[in-house]
Amino acid sequence: MILVISGPSGVGKSTIINNLNRDDGLYFSVSYTTRPIRKNEKHGVDYFFVDKEIFDRMVKESCFVEYEEYGGYMYGTSIDELSKVKDKKGIILDLEVNGAIKVLSKYSNSVGIFVDIDNTELLSRLKLRGHTDELFLKTRIDLASKQRDEKGIFEYYILNKEINDTVNEINDIIYNRILWLNHL
């Protein structure tokens, strides 16, 4: 099972994913990005942080299942990471909407979850992350609205009001899907 978690950046996807129950053998797919590393992030854990030259070379060498530009930086899911789904019961991808749609339409064993948040809350979260630049904040709010236009493509829609509720809801989805897959 490929679990695709999408939604506006700043919605809390990473925190949600970090709190999911991994007892079912779920693996988090580590993406490649050209974005600079943030405080508290680790290379190889949160992302593989690479420069544009390496990223472009990987594109040329067809290393990615999908890749997208988001907020001025490149993000991509490598074939290597996705192939880990064979060893584990499932893999979790944290993707912006365009990449999510590509994966969802390519793999029949994928499940899409759109996690949302209202704009006021999103703005305060982005500010908490240390973003103060007005143009950056406006770009992220505009991007969030664009991403919401595609939410109908996802099988599940969750408004992230309370982190624990959201985590529980996604754990239930995973549990039920794995149960269902095991009965096929």
Residues that bind ligand 5GP (CB under 6 A): 9, 13, 31, 35, 66, 68, 70, 75-77, 94-96, 99
Closest by CA position to 1, among listed 103, 121, 127, 130:
103
CB of 184 to ligand 5GP, least distance (A): 28
- Which of 125/177 has CB closer to ligand 5GP? 125
Length of the chain counted residue by residue:
184
Structure tokens that stand for 147 in this block: 């991403």
- Which of 130/184 has CB closer to ligand 5GP? 130
- 44 vs 16: CA distance, rounded Å: 19
Helices 119-128, 134-148: axis angle to 10 degrees equals 140
Which residues, in sequence order, are CB contacts of 140 under 8 Å at separation 6+? 8, 9, 10, 71, 122, 126, 131
- Which of 35/151 has CB closer to ligand 5GP? 35
- Which of 95/167 has CB closer to ligand 5GP? 95
CB of 180 to ligand 5GP, least distance (A): 26
CB of 75 to ligand 5GP, least distance (A): 4
DSSP code, position 110: E
- Using Cβ positions, the residue closest to ligand 5GP within the complex turns out to be 99
- 10 vs 28: CA distance, rounded Å: 18
Q: What are phi and psi of 8, to 5 degrees?
A: -55, 145
CB of 39 to ligand 5GP, least distance (A): 13
- Which of 73/175 has CB closer to ligand 5GP? 73
CB of 146 to ligand 5GP, least distance (A): 12
